[in-house]
């Protein structure tokens, strides 16, 4: 099930953030503010299976939407959770009358690059040394 995040989801989101993103993870305090709806342009979604949080997505929506985060628990990868989260993000972006979705992905994350390419994202730029370890970010765009 995909639903809007709530403040009580913050610890589980932050734990998944640390597991999935390591040194690039956001702090639990920042995640808590976003999940509680206190960051006006940021929207969090969570995927759940019963009581277990299996994934989440964070999107900033203004005049252009940016998928800031999407992560799936290791035990739920390759089960459609990321596809479901992304589809819901796209639906919410369209509902807010926004026609473009941007994101950055590590150039060495070949699985994620293929995932986004298969869903209609195209490379529009690169940001050298973007991540904490110096890895380049690939900027992707999808017209909605």
User: Number of H helices and number of E strands within the chain?
Assistant: 4, 7
Q: Please give the tally of structural domains in the chain.
A: 1
* Other Cβ atoms within 10 Å of 44 Cβ, number: 23
Q: Tell me the pLDDT tens digit for each residue of 50-72.
A: 999 999 999 999 999 999 999 99
Least confident of 2-11, 18-27, 98-107: 18-27
Q: Quick one: pLDDT band at residue 23, thresholds 50, 70, 90?
A: confident
| Mean pLDDT of all residues in 5-17 | 95
Judge whether residue 22 has pLDDT over 90: no
Domain around 65: 2-143
Judge whether residue 122 has pLDDT over 90: yes
| pLDDT recorded at residue 24 | 85
Percentage of the chain surpassing pLDDT 90? 94
DSSP bridge partners of 53: 48
What are the tokens at 33? 């503010």
Could you tell me the CA-to-CA distances from 84 to 48, 57, 68, 93 in Å, in that order? 11, 10, 16, 14
What are the tokens at 129? 């040394």
| pLDDT recorded at residue 101 | 98
Which of the 8 DSSP states describes residue 62?
S
Least confident of 19-28, 41-50, 69-78: 19-28
Nearest to 57 by CA among 99, 125, 103: 103
* Other Cβ atoms within 10 Å of 137 Cβ, number: 18
Whichever domain contains 96, its CATH number is: 3.40.630.30
């Amino acid at each position: 099930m995909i639903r809007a995040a709530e403040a009580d989801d913050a610890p589980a989101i932050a734990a998944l953030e640390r597991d999935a993103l390591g040194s690039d993870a956001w702090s639990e305090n920042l995640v808590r503010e976003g999940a509680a709806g206190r960051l006006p342009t940021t929207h969090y979604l969570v995927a759940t299976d019963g009581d277990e949080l299996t994934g989440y997505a964070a999107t900033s929506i203004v005049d252009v939407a940016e998928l800031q985060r999407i992560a799936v628990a290791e035990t739920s990868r390759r089960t459609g959770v990321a596809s479901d989260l992304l589809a819901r993000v796209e639906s919410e972006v369209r509902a807010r009358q926004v026609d473009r979705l941007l994101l950055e992905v590590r150039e060495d994350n070949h699985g994620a690059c293929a995932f986004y390419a298969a869903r209609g994202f195209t490379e529009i730029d690169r940001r050298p040394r973007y991540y904490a370890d110096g890895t380049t970010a690939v900027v992707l765009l999808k017209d909605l």
